[in-house]
Amino acid sequence: MTMNAISRSQIYVLDQDEALDFYVGKLGLEVHTDADLGFMRWLTVNVPGDRQREILLEKPGPPALDPATAEQVRELLTKGALGGYLFMTTDDAHKTYEDLVAKGVDVTDEPAERPYGIDFGIRDPFGNRIRIGQMF
């Protein structure tokens, strides 16, 4: 048996509609799946044209977390102590940076040249950190 791909990643968000506004409206990702499963809303996004890799925008709660644990996760996320990490690539880091600044995205690091490429950091409205890079 051999693993051949990572198909889904997960990050916690406090409000899935606000997450959609950020990830789709500001970052330009696409909605992959938005389904009411009864016990939770299964909401995933993907980079345009890459439907094989999804990011689950999950609200802390059942079925994965009991109510007390979900509240702890929400508190840590709000403090910026529990945010997940996403790494994305772009063809032009400087242009992408300028576009995101114009959209009011919270920038944590300005573009910098590094041994592997040019990258910069942003944060989503929930404290999740995102690195965007133009790889060499």
CATH fold of 8-64+72-135? 2,3-Dihydroxybiphenyl 1,2-Dioxygenase; domain 1 (3.10.180)
Q: What is the pLDDT of residues 33-86, one digit of tens each?
A: 999 999 999 999 999 999 999 999 999 998 999 999 999 999 999 887 886 789
3-state secondary structure the chain: CCCCCCCEEEEECCCHHHHHHHHHHHCCCEEEEEEECCCCEEEEEECCCCCCCEEEEECCCCCCCCHHHHHHHHHHHHCCCCCCEEEEECCCHHHHHHHHHHCCCEEEEEEEEECCEEEEEEECCCCCEEEEEEEC
Residue range 3-21: mean pLDDT, rounded: 95
